[in-house]
Structure formats: C-alpha cells, structure tokens
Structure 1
C-alpha cells in the first residue's frame, strides 16, 4: 500500500490512500482519518485498507481524485518518536578521518542513534526556514521506517515484523552548530532543526525484491539546484539494517505505534555514486585537497530527494525544498 497525508486545516491532516503509480488518491475516513489512527490499530485496519488499495489500482473505487504531492504534509506530520541512526559507518569513518580522528571499534558493532524533534515535521514541498546561512545548512538524504508497537528488549529477528511503512527523509543539519553542541557531551539539539519526509509512505511489499534483509536495495537520488548530487545505493554498505536499528532503539524501552527510525545519511564506499549530504562531499575535498571547496546551502538553494523503482517510476514521490530566510 501507499499512503499520504493531505493538509486539511488540522495538525494531523487527512489520511489518503494513493495508487501504486502515484496518479490517484482517495480519502478513507470509514477506516481511519489519520495515519496515526491507522498505525494504532494496524492489525485490524490494514486488511480493510488493502482491499480498497486493490480497488483503487483497478480503477473500481469511487471518490478518487488526482494525487497532488503539493497538498501533502509529511506522512506523519508529528510523531511520538523520531530516532535517527547512522547505519552507514563508512560515512562516519570518513568524517572522522578528515579531521584526523580515529574511529572506535565499537562503531562497527553498536549503532549510533540520536533522538530528534518529532513535534513539527516540515511538509515535503514546503520551504525550510532558517535564520542564518552561517549555521552551515546541509541536507541529509535518508530512508526511515515506521513501526507499530514494539516490545522492549525485542530481538532484531522479531523487530523486522514490526516495520510497517517506509519513507524518505531530509534530515536537515546545521553543521557549524554541531561541534559546540557535541563538545558539551549531551548530543544534538539546536543543530538538528525540523526534518522532512517524502509525500508517500509505502509498505515493504511495494519494494518487491528490492526489500531484502530489511534494507532497501535501490539508489537514493539527490539533486542540488537541479544538478545531480548523488545516487548511492541504500542497500550497499549499510552496516546495520533496519531490524537491528529498531532492536537497538527498543533495548531499554518499548516503542509506541508510529515510531520513526531513520537510517542516517546514505553513503557508499564507491564514491563515484556521489554523496547524500554536503558534509561528506566537503570531507572528501579536505582529504584530497586539504580544504573544502563546496559551500553549504544558502537562501534560495533547493534540494530534491527521490527514489525510483527498476522501471524508473517514483516510489515515494519527491522531497523538493528550498531554503529560505526565517525572519520571525
């Protein structure tokens, strides 16, 4: 199934069922008004929704409208939990190498995760408002999963069954604020403003054979100001899969339905695939030339993040956002 949330004047929006080709959509208030409501009762409601999804794709459903990505909020406009990992450890290794720091061996066996702000996600086609270009504005192209209720202490094998939906992420980062925050030894906060998610969230079966070992084996394509920035394969070099990330987050606490767990920046050892954030490209420049030459984003810059199936069709729709000056 493919699901979206339309703006309707309410904070949590209107749940929409979206056709596989992203051409059509229909509201399903007889089943659930919001995505969170659906997730809270997934076991009972999702089979009924699946029947409507088949009818939508067959063209036999009433009340259908043309799907419009510009009307979408993030699939969960706000969430009870947003925890972002750093599953591509080669990316972490690269960043540390550029500043001459060794990487602890534990990074290869124990996932890195931070808890992000989840009360105000940005819509996938909305501008990213920030007050200063001096903050080092960066995008991070990622994938995230949404779970149902996950018991505390669950194993990775069992955690896989709790992954209900996938979506794309722009985890906006303010690179010049990060060092001072991390130096305090208490993690990110001001350096991680509101994130954005793709217009559409999909069930794993929509990825067919490209969903294996709870990894997405497809390139994630990022454009910066209409130029191709990177298309690394999300299934390659992912040290920790999503089941392992979910189990890690749930080690000492249960997860409520609607918990979002991110992969971290997609990164491949094959640098010809490009990068999924400016920081990585700048680190490669430091290693090669002794200094970075690629600037961070400025007001007016635009980023587009999208993933395509084997036939070249967009799976999740596109995150397409411009950075603008926030004046209060």
Structure 2
C-alpha cells in the first residue's frame, strides 16, 4: 500500500490512501482519520485498507481525487519517536579521515543513533526556514522506516517484523554548529533542525524484490538546484540494515507505534555515484586537494530527493524544498 497525509489545517492532517502510480487518492475516515490512528491499530485496520487499495488501483473506488504532492504533510506530521542512525559506516569513516581522526572498531559492530526532534517535521514541499546561512546548511538524503509497537530487547532476527512502512528523508544538518555541540559531550540539538519526509510512505511489499535483507536495493537520487548531485545505491555498503537499527533502538526500552527510525546518509564506496550530502563531497575534496571547494547551502538553494523503481516511476513522490530566511 501507499499512504500519505494531506495538510487540512489540523495538526495531524488527514490520512489518504494513494494509488500505486501516485495519480489518485482517497480519504478513509471509516477506517482511520490519521496515520497515527492507523499505526496504533495496524494489524486490525490494514486488511480493510488493503481491500480499498486494490479497488483504488483498479479504478473502481468512488470519491477519489487527483493525488497532489503539494498538499502533503510528512506521512506522520509529528511522531512520538524520531531516531536517526548512521548505517553507512564508510560515510562516518570518510568524515573522520578528513579531519585526521581514527575510527573506533566498535563503529563496525554497534550502530550510531541520535534522537531527533519529532514534534515539528517540515512538509516535503515546504520551505526550510533558517535564521542564518552561516550555520553550514546541509541536506542529508536518507531512508526511514515506521514501526508498530516494538518490545524492548527485540532481536535483530525478529525486529524486521515490526517494520510497517518506509519513506524518504531529508535530515537537515547545520554543519558549522555541530562541532561546538559535540564538544560538550552531550550530542546534537541546535545543529539538527526539523527534518522532512517524502509525501508517500509505502509498505515493504510494494517494493517487490528490491526490498531484501531489510534494505532497499535502489539508487536514492538527489538534485541540488536542478543538477544531479548523487545517486548512490541504498542497498550497497549499508553496514547495519533496518532490522539491526530497530533492534538497537529497542535494546533498553520499548518503542511505541509510529516510531520513525532513519538510515543516516546513503553512501557508497564507489564515489562515481556521487553523494547524499554536501559534507561528504567536501570531505572528499579535503582528502584530494587539502581544502573543500563545495559550499554549503544558502538562501534560495533548492534540494530534491526521490527514488525510482526499475521502470523509472517515482515510488515515494519527491521531497522538493528551498532554503529561505526565517522571519519571526
């Protein structure tokens, strides 16, 4: 299934069932008004939704409307949990190498995860408002999963059963604020403003054989100011798959339905596919030339993140955003 949340002026929006080709949509108030309501009762409600989804794709469902990505909020406009990992360890290794730091061996066996703010996600087609373009504004193109209730201590072998939906992410980072925050020894906060997610979230079965080993084996395509920036394959060089990440997050506490867990920046050892964030490209320039040549984003810059199936059809819709000056 494919699902979205339309922004109807209310905090949690309205749940929409979306056709496979992203052309038609329908509200399903008789089943669930919001995405969180659906996540809270997933096993009970999904069979009913599946019947409607089949009818929607056959073109026989009444009361449908043309699907409009510009009307979408994030699939979950707010969430009880947003934990972002760094599953592509070669990306971490590269960043540390550029500043002459050795990477601990534990990074290859124990995932890195930070807890992000989940109360104010930015819609996928809305501007990214920031007060200063001297903060080192960067995008991070990622994938995330949404879970049902995850019991504490779930094993990596069983955690995949709790993955119900997948979506794309732009995890905005303020690179010039990060060093000062990390130096305090207490993690990110100001350097990680509101994130954004794709217009559409999809169930794993929609992906067919490209969803295997709890990874999506497709390129994640990022454009910066309408120029291709990178298209690394999300299924390649992913040290920790999504089942590993879910298990890690639930090691010492249960995770509530509707929790979002991210992959971190998609990155391949094969650099010909480009990068999924500006920081990685800058680090490659430092390693090659001793200094970065690529600037961070400024006001007016636009980023677009999208993933296509084997027939070149958009799967999740696109995150398409411009950085603007925040005016209180």
TM-score bin (small chain): over 0.9
- Map of 1:79 onto structure 2: 79
Gaps of 5+ in 1: none
| Deviating 4+ runs (over 6 angstroms) | none
Q: Can you list the C-alpha shifts for 1:222-279, whole angstroms capped at 9, x where unaligned?
A: 0000000000000000000000000000000000000000000000000000000000
Check if 1:280 corresponds to 2:280.
Answer: yes
Q: Can you list the C-alpha shifts for 1:153-203, whole angstroms capped at 9, x where unaligned?
A: 000111100000000000000000000000000000000000000000000
What is the RMSD computed on CA atoms of the aligned residues? 0.3
Give 1:192-207 correspondences, 5 Å limit. Answer: 192-207=192-207
Calculate the TM-score normalised by the size of structure 1. Answer: 1.00
DSSP 3-state at the match of 1:135? coil
- Map of 1:12 onto structure 2: 12
Give 1:171-320 correspondences, 5 Å limit. Answer: 171-320=171-320
C-alpha displacement of 1:327: 2.0
DSSP 3-state at the match of 2:143? strand
Q: Can you list the C-alpha shifts for 1:112-136, whole angstroms capped at 9, x where unaligned?
A: 0000000000000000000001100
Equivalent-residue separation in structure 1 for 2:259 and 2:28 (angstroms): 22
DSSP 3-state at the match of 1:95? helix
Q: Can you list the C-alpha shifts for 1:195-218, whole angstroms capped at 9, x where unaligned?
A: 000000000011000000100000
Gaps of 5+ in 2: none
DSSP 3-state at the match of 1:188? coil
- Map of 1:126 onto structure 2: 126
Equivalent-residue separation in structure 1 for 2:264 and 2:103 (angstroms): 17
C-alpha displacement of 1:9: 1.2
DSSP 3-state at the match of 2:45? helix
Q: How many residues align?
A: 328
- Map of 1:142 onto structure 2: 142
Equivalent-residue separation in structure 2 for 1:73 and 1:327 (angstroms): 21
- Map of 1:27 onto structure 2: 27
Equivalent-residue separation in structure 1 for 2:12 and 2:50 (angstroms): 22
Calculate the TM-score normalised by the size of structure 2. Answer: 1.00
Q: Can you list the C-alpha shifts for 1:26-72, whole angstroms capped at 9, x where unaligned?
A: 00000000000000000100000000000000011000000000000
